[in-house]
Amino acid sequence: MNEKQIIKSIEKIKKMEKSIKEDKKTLDGLKDVLKKEMDIKKVETLEVGDYKISYKEINRENFDKKRFQKENPKRYSRYVSFSNFKRFAIY
């Protein structure tokens, strides 16, 4: 690829990323409307036509890695592992 082709590819990527970001905002807005409707109706599942949607409270357990590392540095170092990867970014 020559420099002109690379620039064209970068510009296309940036344009697509912007479009995806805008689409995500629209998508999130539509989901929020449905969630609000379900809250108003006080339902966790809703069946409409061929679709079934759910909006339920989920409980999950989290591990406080930073606190564990601070309070147990030796134990933490025995269990931590590192990996290498390449990150692609356009600035």
* pLDDT tens readout for residues 30-60: 999 999 999 999 999 999 999 999 999 999 9
For 72, the 3-state DSSP assignment is coil
- Quote the pLDDT of residue 89: 92
pTM of the entire structure?
Answer: 0.72
Percent of the chain with pLDDT over 90: 98
Nearest to 36 by CA among 26, 25, 50, 46: 46
Q: What is the mean pLDDT of residues 10-28?
A: 98
Measuring CA to CA, which residue among 38, 41, 32 is closest to residue 53?
Answer: 38
Cα separation, 4 vs 66, whole angstroms: 46
Tell me what the mean pLDDT of segment 18-40 comes to. 98
One-letter amino acid at 16 equals: M
